Amino acid sequence: MILKKPALYTDLYELTMAQGYFLSGRHQQTASFDYFFRSLPFDGGYVVFAGLGDLLEIIRYFRFHPEELEYLRSQGFKEEFLSFLKDFEFKGSVYSVKEGEIVFPNEPILRVEGTIVEAQILETVLLNTLNFASLIATKASRIKQAAGDHAVVDFGLRRAQGLGGLQASKASVIGGFQGTSNVLAGKMDDIPINGTMAHSWIQSFEDELTAFRTYAEHYPDSSILLVDTYSTLKKGVPNAIKVAKELEEKGHKLVGIRLDSGDLAYFARKSRQMMDDAGLEYVKIAASNQLDEHLIKSLLDQGAPIDLFGVGTKLVTAYDDPALDGVYKLSSINGKPTLKISENEEKVTLPDSKKIIRYFNEDGSFYSDGIALNDEENPSVIYHPYIAHRSTIVSELESEELLHNVVNKGEIMIDPPTVQESAEYARMRLSKLNDEHKRFDNPHVYKVGLSKKLRELKIELIQNA
């Protein structure tokens, strides 16, 4: 986390509401809020949850510092409330699915319990953190899925949305990327860093061969030569072959070449042929230039012999769907369940504290999820959220509860997951999600149902309203 003082990274209304609760003596009311999203990005079938590690850091550092209080004073906040903020620490509890978990719309994937002020005041920074990390981890997992066993590396920093680039690189690795070009992300989160060379390196030399030779001299075992500066097939690849042969004579090996323009399938095939003819079967081909999951799938479907994909803009900005619509909604106040009604049936929220139960098929793959009240037994039947006659029997299935107590009355209960741990968990969980939910075109909808009690409570509260 680069943001060591997260308390003001928030919408003003969180603070004006907090002051309102405080001044009207209502700040000790207890509340619980759910984090969930309503629709799946990229016309896809799932989301990879990420950002929990960062959120735990935010909670750890959540304090109002003197210069922050001074700023709030200048904005008209009252002295008695500023005194309250001065001593403020988050003493609530957080229940969350694991970072890397595969999750679906309307599931309460994270719940915050505490006083109304401490639960409310986290809203904006929590949404900002979880929405973006989950969006990018999901995009990355799709790209990795298209690439199969081929390596995918994040090259997106230059087009990332400002400092969002830091979080994007981390989330990419959680989603299945093997590394990033982003050095600071590498340092902060212990992620492998990778890179090749720019056109400017080559242009700064008298000719391409000298540029390649000089680079290879200093990086005899880690050079990937960019071959498209002048002419990929007439100059770039022949020069790379020459340098590879010179490296061989000195007992080294050229790692690869990089293609960054033109028809990547055509150039990859031609380059592969030229290098193979020269006995350089071991030299890899890296490709970049506006890649995403669809383009990578198309290249591999065409049999393009590309070993490594550098993915930039389309990954780090989630170009085709640049925001996850995650929200944070009140589900109970002073122990009393509440919901937000809406004329749009899908936008009615779920009341009260809940758990998520995942049910498994006999082969260990995910069957469906159920949402139940926290204090009821795991249900034997789950029901469609609002279509009356739809239900499914789950009593015979293996099951697992997904929410874990990660912060208890202010105390952080887990070691924040490392990027590699979350990546491994996501990989393992994705392998249990059946292919029909993972395909890019019209993925099959994964079933998420409600317990009878939860559905009845929801209907009762709607009727009362």
Question: Contact 51/426 with Cβ under 8 angstroms?
Answer: no
- Nearer to a copy of itself among residue 210 and residue 302 (C-beta): 210
- Nearer to a copy of itself among residue 31 and residue 423 (C-beta): 31
From residue 446, alpha-carbon distances to 265, 270, 357, 361, 366 in Å are: 35, 43, 14, 13, 9
- Nearer to a copy of itself among residue 159 and residue 453 (C-beta): 159
- Nearer to a copy of itself among residue 203 and residue 380 (C-beta): 203
Edge-to-edge strand list for the sheet holding 93-96: 336-337, 327-333, 30-36, 110-115, 93-96, 404-408, 411-412
- Nearer to a copy of itself among residue 183 and residue 459 (C-beta): 183
Question: Contact 264/293 with Cβ under 8 angstroms?
Answer: no
- Nearer to a copy of itself among residue 195 and residue 410 (C-beta): 195
In whole angstroms, the minimum distance from the beta carbon of 31 to a copy of itself comes to 7
From residue 56, alpha-carbon distances to 31, 165, 276, 417 in Å are: 19, 20, 50, 10
In whole angstroms, the minimum distance from the beta carbon of 187 to a copy of itself comes to 5
The three-point CA angle 157-284-156 to 5° equals: 10
Q: Which helix (H) or strand (E) holds 423?
A: helix 419-430
- Nearer to a copy of itself among residue 133 and residue 247 (C-beta): 133
Instruction: List, in order, residues 6 or more apart from 162 with CB less than 8 Å away.
Output: none
In whole angstroms, the minimum distance from the beta carbon of 35 to a copy of itself comes to 11
- Nearer to a copy of itself among residue 163 and residue 393 (C-beta): 163
Identify the CA nearest to 94 among candidates 410, 371, 328: 410
Query: How many residues are listed for the chain in this entry?
Result: 465
In whole angstroms, the minimum distance from the beta carbon of 428 to a copy of itself comes to 26
User: 3-class SS at 145?
Assistant: helix
- Nearer to a copy of itself among residue 165 and residue 449 (C-beta): 165
Q: What is the dihedral of CA 211, 216, 218, 224, to 10 degrees?
A: 100
Question: Contact 326/127 with Cβ under 8 angstroms?
Answer: yes
- Nearer to a copy of itself among residue 346 and residue 435 (C-beta): 346
In whole angstroms, the minimum distance from the beta carbon of 129 to a copy of itself comes to 7
Q: Which two tokens stand for residue 425?
A: 């968990």
In whole angstroms, the minimum distance from the beta carbon of 96 to a copy of itself comes to 18
Q: Which helix (H) or strand (E) holds 113?
A: strand 110-115
In whole angstroms, the minimum distance from the beta carbon of 417 to a copy of itself comes to 18
- Nearer to a copy of itself among residue 261 and residue 361 (C-beta): 261
Question: Contact 137/318 with Cβ under 8 angstroms?
Answer: no
Question: Contact 403/97 with Cβ under 8 angstroms?
Answer: yes
In whole angstroms, the minimum distance from the beta carbon of 360 to a copy of itself comes to 33
From residue 120, alpha-carbon distances to 35, 131, 386, 450 in Å are: 12, 17, 28, 26
Backbone torsion region of residue 262, taken as left when φ is above 0, otherwise alpha when ψ lies between -120 and 50, otherwise beta: left
Identify the CA nearest to 90 among candidates 54, 124, 59: 59
In whole angstroms, the minimum distance from the beta carbon of 108 to a copy of itself comes to 15
In whole angstroms, the minimum distance from the beta carbon of 170 to a copy of itself comes to 10
In whole angstroms, the minimum distance from the beta carbon of 452 to a copy of itself comes to 25
